[in-house]
């Protein structure tokens, strides 16, 4: 599947793990590296310590206005200067998933300003969202971010701002894995 991405924590991959922060709930085991692979199988020859899967899909909350604003300003992945990355798997509570679409949208944007907050950190921070819940994975979402070394403090501010929103009351598990690209891989 071309829209399925596998993240494999182990000894292989171009991203070296800098630190693993247990933000909420059970953490993931710190590994030397994380490999990011398109498709369901890892190209790693050794056994990964953990693997997480998620698929790329259409936006679930953004309005036309928000999508157009994002498209005008959001950077692509793989910028040469973006040597830093974060993989942030989160799981939301059952209460979140029992909400209707209008209730989730209200909390996501009208109350928590999720997209608006993120927009304040563009074009510094590249972002790709992977959906995991429908695959019955341990997390609901895996978000991957890339940014330059000089934007690392701004990225910290971004995740702190999001964690302070009403939306984050519905987050029951969150791990924040910080990575640095290793040119030798």
Site for its own copies in 74-103 (CB under 8 A): 97, 99-103
- Count CB neighbours of 130 within 10 A: 24
Q: Does 63 bind its own copies (CB under 8 A)?
A: yes
Q: Please report how close the Cβ of residue 93 comes to its own copies at its closest, in angstroms.
A: 13
CA–CA separation, 132 and 58 (whole Å): 14
Q: Does 60 bind its own copies (CB under 8 A)?
A: yes
Write the binding mask 130 to 169 for its own copies: x where contact by CB under 8 A, - elsewhere: -x-xxxx---------------------------------
Q: Which two tokens stand for residue 170?
A: 């519905």
Total residues at interface with its own copies (CB under 8 A) = 28
Candidate segments 112-120, 126-134, 150-158, 177-185, binder of its own copies by CB under 8 A: 126-134
Within 13 Å and on the Cβ side, how many CA atoms surround 173? 16
- 90 to 14, 17, 19: CA distances (angstroms): 23, 18, 17
Q: Does 128 bind its own copies (CB under 8 A)?
A: no
CA-closest candidate to residue 82, choices 137, 126, 36:
126
CA-closest candidate to residue 96, choices 31, 149, 165:
165
Applying CB under 8 A, among 57, 111, 169, 185 the residue interacting with its own copies is 57
Positions in the binding site for its own copies (CB under 8 A): 1-4, 55, 57-67, 97, 99-103, 105, 131, 133-136
């Amino acid at each position: 599947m071309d829209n399925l991405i596998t993240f494999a924590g182990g000894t292989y991959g171009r991203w070296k793990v800098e630190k693993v922060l247990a933000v909420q709930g059970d953490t993931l085991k710190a590994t030397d590296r994380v490999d990011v692979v398109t498709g369901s199988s890892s190209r790693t020859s050794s056994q990964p310590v953990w693997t997480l899967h998620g698929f790329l899909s259409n936006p679930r909350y953004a309005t036309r206005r928000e999508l157009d604003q994002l498209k005008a300003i959001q950077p692509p992945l793989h910028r040469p200067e973006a040597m830093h990355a974060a993989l942030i798997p989160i799981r939301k509570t059952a209460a979140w998933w029992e909400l209707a679409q209008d209730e989730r949208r209200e909390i996501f944007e009208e109350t928590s300003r999720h997209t608006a907050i993120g927009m304040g950190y563009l074009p510094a921070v590249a972002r790709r969202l992977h959906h995991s819940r429908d695959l019955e994975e341990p997390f609901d979402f895996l978000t991957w971010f890339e940014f330059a070394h000089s934007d690392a403090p701004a990225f910290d501010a971004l995740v702190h701002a999001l964690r302070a929103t009403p939306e984050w009351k519905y987050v029951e598990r969150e791990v924040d894995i910080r990575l640095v690209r290793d040119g030798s891989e």
